Structure 1
């Protein structure tokens, strides 16, 4: 402890005496004695100077919709460092990462206004010391002592997955309660933060199953995996999936505490809970109608601060799926973003909204060459591209139908909308192109054979590499059924249209195409 105090004194003295000194490798820091109220300091020493060069701190409670490095000032003197973090008024969850030649350093901790963390990196270990070390070490201790959600993948049974997620949550809360008791922690801010953080993380993990393996058995979740999983699992089962039983007794009131906006887990859970639980319509995913329905839930149930975040998040998520990248949605989406700007002229998310608008203004309505060159497999084993299909006939309206053999809503649409599709083909010169994203070619061929009386067209293909193909990635085909409508110039009119079974609306769209 004496050593750390000594370094702090040295840093303060040198900082005060060398105000104008430049360091070509590091951003100049403000005088420590001039740190503003609400600033958070991190002070450390190391026997591995390379670790300081690559040190970043991410604020998981950032006002931005994107995670970013939150160090505002840093000064390195000898083997010591002082870092100043953005002003904070509420507890924040920070993540520190760094690496040297052959070792990576990681730590997570709660930062409170006017607080200071003292650490040392020694013998390839990151150690937090000081008066509140027990609080600051909690998240690292939690990660070391309990199972991690990121190593807990969905394995083909959603209820078994839920059982494992619930078990991890119980172990984390049990560890937390024992940790608080063992270290005699009485800070209400700390206890409230961790309790709510664990709760919201649990809700998020249930709704966003982890299915994508990265490295070191770390799994990520996809926004639309949940709906797809339920479709696949309950295709042949007699019982229906009960969402309330699965998620438990969560309520809108669980998400009304504005002070919890400084928790990344709260913001993540809020967005997916609205999308998959509180908004109950059966509009197509990421359609104009679904957007307005989700927005209505937000406006009806939440106060201004949560509304400001939730609508900005809604806009950002829809933009990420490609919404607004079509003739039918771009004007609507721009108007919604403009309305958001008028409602929240001083929003902390203004930069994100401006970036989305700029992207919408530069969008090309035609599919890029990479998408047109996506390889497709015909029922007869021939390989061709989407561009070659388009070149077969000109001046036709086209509808691309993404489906799969395991998707009951897809099959239901194919069956019940047959007469309507045939009518549009004749009366409006509509060409239907059926693209399966099945991973198993034989299952696709088998289901196609079963649906032969409904799929009596030659435009049936298997997309090679499915959702990971250039076409799948460009259109963000992460849920099905999905219908893309193109005009006679092969421009995207709607990249997520209503289902053909919604015949009145669908016909109105087709009739409006010039």
Structure 2
């Protein structure tokens, strides 16, 4: 064990201490890989270098094969020294796809790659681009090359004609297959497992796009388009004669695209009861369908996905649904005591326990300052906002998704302010006060001294700890009595669902 640790730190020291030589020549990195990786069975090493230092503050690895309810793994043992990053993953037991993501105020960086046990992955972020280098670089750069050459499906969204939409999806699917075949030929890639997995991934991506032309799924679109037509929509022709039995191969669970497509099929096609979406009745109907048609790991995945999906959409925001949801989760835990989602389930249970919960004095009195240097607390903000619904938005200047959400559709937020008396409170967990000030200036049409604050001690403050703020963007909704309704609310960009939650809070206050 000491020998292995020594090798790891030796690689890190070489990687960090020789950054200049590494940029000029990849041969030394490749040699390190070949000489050392054989001694690390079941491990994958990820090494990176960046010219955007803040990007490594928000760096994650998304493991496709993880059946965690959140569908991602966070690795906390990432070592960052100056402009270099080093990470060892010991949970890669077979060939699979993984994603890496980094984010800063300058840009967002994403890479999807194919790894096998004992691989070493080397990447660099330079001039706002993420690129893989070294051994297997051609394989790992495939998806970036694909997306550079062929637009993503969401660039050609549903425009009112479902058949036209299907033709576009199929057109780009065939283009992607042709691109793969040519890419493999041009780059001399002869890995059968890589080619097979990418083909499966593209297949399930296509299926997902077909089942979800829009957020609410295919069925409402078909009902709307065919409402006044005499002919019947042919689902078999549309999908290509798919059968539920075709989606019971547990080996395919290691593909995120398979899991997304399967869950969407169940939720938006196979389970066709007309109960209201995200109601107790709908959740019960979906659960019954899953238990009747699936077993083993696929059944476990689908039930955990229901829990995660309903929680994400704000289910549990009333006394009745909270009680039902807790029982639903308890039943799952008894059936799957060793579930890989145990930690995620506990987070959801903790969030449900905060329903109708009032913050204690310590978090209420956590200090933050505005851009004039005035010191305030959440208690003071609440005191000036009596009888208002409050949305607390935790963000940071280096978090691209946070900034996108803040900038997204100000008119929607203004309408909720007027119609539902909603106050928006933006709390930054930045470590650097000056960077927060600079970002405020750039977004001054949204952020001002009255709604934007720098939270002293950031995510280590009593307020962040009390609300368990361990990721951003994060939204906490308080009702008019300053009680927590949702400790992990949907993003405001999910307008339909977000507004439904706000309306529900408003209507409860009238009863």
TM-score (norm 1): 0.60
CA distance in 2, matches of 1:305, 1:120: 36
Task: State whether structure 2 residue 64 is matched by structure 1 residue 64.
Answer: no
Provide structure 1 residue ranges, at least 5 long, that are not aligned to the other structure.
1-7, 19-31, 211-221, 373-383, 388-465, 478-483, 492-514
Q: Distance in 2 between the 1:385 and 1:77 partners?
A: 49
Q: Higher relative CO (CA 8 A, sep ≥ 6), structure 1 or 2?
A: 2
1:332 equivalent among 319, 324, 328: 324
Q: Which residue of 1 aligns with 2:502?
A: 474
Instruction: Write out per-residue CA displacement over residues 287-331 of structure 1, whole angstroms, 9 at most, x where no aligned residue.
Output: 334323322332233231111111011122223344443344433
Q: 1:312 aligns with which of 296, 304, 315?
A: 304
Q: Deviations for 1:134-164, whole angstroms, at most 9, x for unmatched residues?
A: 2112111111121211312221222211111
State whether residues 211 and 269 of structure 2, in contact with CA within 8 Å, keep that contact through their aligned partners in structure 1: no
Residues 58 and 104, structure 2, Cα contact 8 Å, conserved in 1: no
Query: Does structure 1 residue 168 correspond to structure 2 residue 169?
Result: no
1:131 maps to 2:152: no
Please point out which of 149, 153, 177 is paired with 2:157: 153
The CA deviation at 1:271 is: 0.8
* Deviations 1:57-87, CA, capped at 9 Å, x for gaps: 3315143333556444344557654322352
Q: CA-atom RMSD, angstroms?
A: 4.0
Output the CA distance in 1 between the equivalents of 2:353 and 2:130: 47
Residues 123 and 133 in structure 2, CA contact (< 8 A), matched pair in contact too: yes
Cα distance in 2 for partners of 1:233, 1:351 equals: 43
In the alignment, what sits opposite 2:334?
342
The match for 1:209 among 213, 224, 239 is 213
CA distance in 1, matches of 2:155, 2:211: 16
Q: 1:188 aligns with which of 165, 171, 192?
A: 192
Q: Within 5 Å, which residues of 2 pair with 1:248-259?
A: 248-259=240-251
Q: How has the CA–CA distance of structure 1 residues 328 and 42 changed in structure 2, closer, same or farther, with 3 Å as cutoff?
A: closer
Tell me what 1:275 maps to.
Answer: 267
Aligned residues of 1:12 and 1:33 also touching (Cα < 8 A): no
| More helix as a share of residues | 2
Q: Distance in 2 between matches of 1:84 and 1:315?
A: 31
Give 1:261 deviation, angstroms. 1.8
- Structure 1 residues 160, 334: CA separation in 2 closer, same or farther (over 3 Å shift)? same
CA spacing shift, 1:471–1:80, aligned 2, 3 Å: closer
Within the candidate set 39, 43, 53, 1:39 is matched to: 43
Q: TM-score, normalised by structure 2?
A: 0.60
Deviation at 1:251, TM superposition (A): 1.7
Q: Deviations over 1:307-363 (max 9, x none)?
A: 111101112222334444334443332222111000111111123322333333333
User: Equivalent residue for 1:432?
Assistant: none
Task: Say which one has the larger Rg.
Answer: 1
Cα drift, residue 50 of structure 1: 2.4
Whole-Å Cα distance in 2 between the matches of residues 119 and 209 of structure 1?
Answer: 34
How many residues matched?
359
| Counterpart Cα distance in 1 of 2:12 and 2:173 | 47
* Whole-angstrom distance in 2 between the partners of 1:101 and 1:322: 29
CA offset at residue 469 of structure 1?
9.7
